[in-house]
Amino acid sequence: MPELRIKEVRLPELHLPEMSRDDIDRVISDARDEIGRVELPDLTKVELPRIDLSRIDLPKAVAGASFLGRKPARSRWPFVVGGVIAVGAMTALVLNQEPVRARLRELAMSFRQRMDERRAEMETRRQGAHAFDASVAVPIQPSAFADDAPSTGSPFDGSDGLPEGFGGEVASMPPETPYTPVEDATRV
């Protein structure tokens, strides 16, 4: 095939004259003057044709105008059915491959095994012994706002032979001192 040679074409560079602020202001004022001299046609003399609105069927006209420029919507059911058929065919093709079926069986078995392990773990948690079923609750400290509340004799006082660190020594702790607000010296 013969080789075509195309000449390189360069567009001439465009050099705009430099304008000062005064030049720009003068050009704008001249343009304003020219715009002011333009005569607009007299629109009062324009006669519009008379339209008999009684002959127009308004509901039909509105219905027709609402569909101007739009194509009626197509039904989507053929696309949905075609998609379902295509996905079913692809699934059948993939599942007929022996390596794919073996891998899917392996994944299903590992999933089933993990679920069985989790169920067994949850069952042992539910049936297993709880750590603090027999522990004694911390004794209730008397309230700073209730002077007549007893500080001893609560069913939660003392230990029931629990090992050290499980709440038995809490009863021997001194009660906390109640909070007393300090008045601010700057307040009047």
Q: How far is 110 from 133, CA to CA, in rounded Å? A: 37
Phi first, then psi, for residue 66 (nearest 5°) are -70, -25
What pLDDT is recorded for position 44?
A: 79
* More confidently predicted of 45 and 143: 45
Q: Tell me the whole-structure pTM to 2 decimals.
A: 0.27
- For tokens 């360069």, name the residue: 10
Tokens of 7: 């000449």
In 10 A of CB 18, how many CB atoms?
A: 6
19-23, 51-55, 135-139: segment of lowest average pLDDT: 135-139
Query: Which one has a higher pLDDT value, 70 or 90?
Result: 90
Range among 19-28, 43-52, 55-64, 177-186 with highest mean pLDDT value: 19-28
Residue 166 CA: distances (Å) to CA of 151, 157, 180: 21, 13, 31
Q: Which of 103, 159, 108 is nearest to 135 (CA)?
A: 159
pLDDT tens per residue across span 142-164: 666 666 555 555 555 554 556 66
DSSP string covering 12-43: PPP-PPP--HHHHHHHHHHHHHHHHTPPPP-G
pLDDT band at 109 (very low <50, low <70, confident <90, very high): very high
> What's the sign of the alpha-carbon dihedral 67, 69, 75, 76?
negative
